Amino acid sequence: MAEERRPKQCTVVLPTESMKAMAESIGVGQLQEESCAALSEEVSYRIKEIAQDALKFMHHGKRRKLTTSDIDHALKLKNVEPLYGFQSQEFIPFRFASGGGRELHFYEEKEVDLSDIINTPLPRVPLDVSLKAHWLSIEGVQPAIPENPPPAPKEQQKAESTEPLKVVKPGQEEEGSIQKGQGAISAEAKGKKEGLMRMKPRSTHELSVEQQLYYKEITEACVGSCEAKRAEALQSIATDPGLYQMLPRFSTFISEGVRVNVVQNNLALLIYLMRMVKALMDNPTLYLEKYLHELIPAVVTCIVSKQLCLRPDVDNHWALRDFAARLMAQSCKTFSTTTNNIQSRITKTFTKSWLDEKTQWTTRYGCIAGLSELGPDVIKTLILPRLTVEGARIKAVSEGPVVSNIDKIGADHVQSLLLKHCASVIAKTRPLPDNMEQYRADYGYLGPTLCSHVVKARAQAALQAQQVNRTTLTITQPRPTLTVSQSGIGGSGGSRSPSIIKVPSSLTLMSTRPGTPTQPSPPATKYIVMATSAGASSTQQVLDGSLVITLSSSSGSSVTSTVASATSTLQPLVKLESRGAGGLGGSRPLQKYIVVSLPTSASSSLESKSGMLPPSSSSTSPISLEAGMKMDHTGYVPNGTLLPI
């Protein structure tokens, strides 16, 4: 390596053209080739010399990055006047230009109008230096607190699970600068000393008292009645770096919970458990692969189970199936490899039970939902060919003799689900025109309705294309949550992304973690604004679809009132609302603002009003569940307002 580099170092010299260009820039026209060569050599040498001195300053400045001030100081050492104007902390914006066979990099010096500078508001004063103490280690053991890095990074969790026989020596992990629980190191060192070689290191899953307490609190909050607590707990699961010790317990908790609650048809609890799965998947520090064998069956159960609730006719178990299907799709995306083949196995399972004639409508719905979440390709190859058959079946139920109400509802849901997913795919793949008859010929009973849906989808796509650059919402910046959370965490939290911030007026801002691998649609920032009031009226508004939210970074207190007052102000959102209901795939990097107004009590009036989300058997309020579930999609808006943009 060094050998390769050194000769280069020896020979790197500025090109003579640069000398010419520089000479020209200061007015020396004709420069001899030899002078250029001599100059370039001299200049290269001096530059290297200065760079070496600058490195010294970087080292003493305890930095890894060379800054312009280092170069200034190095110049000062040589009694050269420093360069002025290169004060940029981050990078120096050199610009590139070419022409006349020449290529130039130059530093753009714009003329700046002083009045502009004077008139611009002052930038925020940077925070002053402050000192913060935390425990890096307590008697040799590093506590798992946010200030410390996660005790076991993902790579190590992976290494542990995939190569359990490989004894991790302290030296090896240092090379990769991977750290490990300290107790383990000394224990291992001792083990080595005594010459005891274990076949497989006993993996300890003992939880400290604090961890046990945490586990208890979290699980209770997750399935408890207080929605605010649940949100916090889920946020904690999704962001805390030190959970890997508890992961096996969480995983068992979820799988056991699903098993029990499916039998008891406890919809609410199933929903809570699925939200836990989602939170676990969102946590970037966890290596979930190890526990998929418990989690996937649980999720699949929630998708395809025959009965998920006590009253299938009224309860909105469909939402759960949708949500779980989305989870499934997400885990397929994240975890599917050539060895475990999760995606193909799951696809097979869904298809098999869907093809089965005796399958009930609920399961059928689940299978279709699960498949369609897997992406347009799956829809195209697996669902579209069966539309005719499925249409006939639906027709049999809806137009045939009245069977049970449940079947009818099921058929309805399957129909709308098929329409929703297929329409968007067909809109993209099928060439115009959209002929009703042609559709009927191709897709059978569902053809005509499908056709109208496709037309709508196409219109929407066009509209969307128009609106991409138009701002419809006057929302200041995507910043507010970030800044709030920064001050909340106190800076040393660092990479932790903002979580839940409590604003005095019971307003909770949530933003999903940016950059989590589990988020399919790229850089969409989402806000969920939940306010505990104004259930009925706001619901109405949302269904009407005209609503403006103004989120300002500083005052979140007036959100509820804005919801009410802004009703009449902005029209474009009507369209958006309808599109959202039509099932817009979040493929564009759009920001979604979701406002959910929380009713003061889980009243039954809501249920009747929305008709889609019946109250759960417990006294918990279903709304926030919706909030959680509607993070990605905006399909069902029972008693909150969802505004996709």
Partner 1 sequence: MAAVQDGQLNMEVEKDIKTEITNDGSGNINANSSSPGSTSSGGKSKSPAGSGEDQQTLLAVLQFLKRNKLTESVDILRREAGLSADADDSPVSDSAGAGSGGVPNVSADGGDANSLLSRVSIATPVAPPATAPPKATGSMASGGEDQPDVNVVLSAYSQQGDPVLYPLYYNGLKKFIESVLDCHRAELSQVFYPLFVHMYLELVYNNHENEAKQFFEKFSGDQECYYEEDLRILSSMSKKEHMKGNETMLDFRTSKFVLRISRDSYQLLKRHLQERQNNQIWNIIQEHLYIDIFDGMPRSKSQIDAMSGSLAGEGKRDANKAKVFYGLLKEPEIEVPLDDEDEEAENEEGKPKKKKPKKDSMGSKSKKQDPNAPQQTRIPLPELKDSDKLDKIMNMKEATKKIRLSPDNLPSICFYSFLNAYQGLTAVDFTDDSSLIAGGFADSTVRVWSVTPKKLRRVKSAADLSNIDKESDDVLERIMDEKTASESKILYGHSGPVYGISFSPDRNYLLSSSEDGTVRLWSLQTFTCLVGYKGHNYPVWDTQFSPYGYYFISGGHDRVARLWATDHYQPLRMFAGHLADITCTLFHPNSNYVATGSADRTIRLWDVLTGNCVRILTGHKGPIHSLAFSPNGKFMASGATDGRVLLWDVGHGLMVGELKGHSDTIYALKFSRDGEILASGSMDNTVKLWDTLKAFDDVELDDFTAATGHIHLPENSQELLLGTYMTKSTPVIHLHFTRRNLLLAAGAYNP
By CB under 8 A, name the binding residues for partner 1.
2-3, 6-7, 9-11, 41-42, 44-45, 48-49, 52, 56-57, 59-65, 67, 69, 73, 77, 89, 126-140, 142, 147-149, 169-171, 174-175, 177, 179-180, 182, 185-186, 189, 193, 490-492, 494-495
Report helix angle 267-282 to 317-335, nearest 10.
20
* Residue 87 Cβ vs partner 1, minimum distance, rounded to whole Å: 13
Task: CB nearer to partner 1: give 119 or 177.
Answer: 177
Q: For partner 1, give the closer residue by CB, 27 or 140.
A: 140
Contact partners, residue 106, CB within 8 Å, separation at least 6? 94, 95, 97
Q: Estimate to the nearest angstrom the gap between the alpha carbon of 457 and the chain centroid.
A: 26
Toward partner 1, which CB reaches closer, 182 or 398?
182
Residue 512 C-beta: closest distance to partner 1, Å: 21
Distance in Å, CB of 541 to partner 1, minimum = 41
Q: Distance between CA 18 and CA 13 in Å, rounded? A: 11
Q: Least separation, in Å, of the C-beta of 487 and partner 1? A: 11
Residues 585 and 559 sit within 8 Å (Cβ to Cβ) = no
Helical segments of 444-558, H only: 447-467, 480-489, 535-544
| Closest to partner 1 by CB, 176 or 297 | 176
In the block, tokens 């009645």 appear at 225
Shortest Å distance, C-beta 160 to partner 1: 18
> Closest approach of Cβ 192 to partner 1, in Å?
8
User: Measured from the CB atom, is 90 or 108 closer to partner 1?
Assistant: 90
Give the three-class secondary structure for 126. Answer: coil
Residue whose CB is less far from partner 1, 201 or 585 = 201
Q: Which residues pair with 643 in a beta bridge?
A: 593
CB 4, min distance to partner 1, A: 9
And the tokens for 239? 């962001």
Segment (H or E) for 507: strand 507-510
Under 8 Å between Cβ of 138 and 124: no
Q: Which residues fall within 8 angstroms of residue 181, CB to CB, at 6 or more apart?
A: 141, 142, 151, 152
Residue 328 makes CB contacts below 8 A (sequence gap 6+) with 296, 299, 300, 303, 346, 370, 373
For partner 1, the closer of residues 170 and 514 by Cβ is: 170
Query: How far from the centroid of its chain's Cα atoms is residue 411's Cα?
Result: 33
Tell me the Ramachandran region of residue 100: left when phi exceeds 0, alpha when psi lies from -120 to 50, beta otherwise: left
User: Which C-beta is closer to partner 1: that of 147 or that of 412?
Assistant: 147
| Shortest CB 60 distance to partner 1, Å | 5
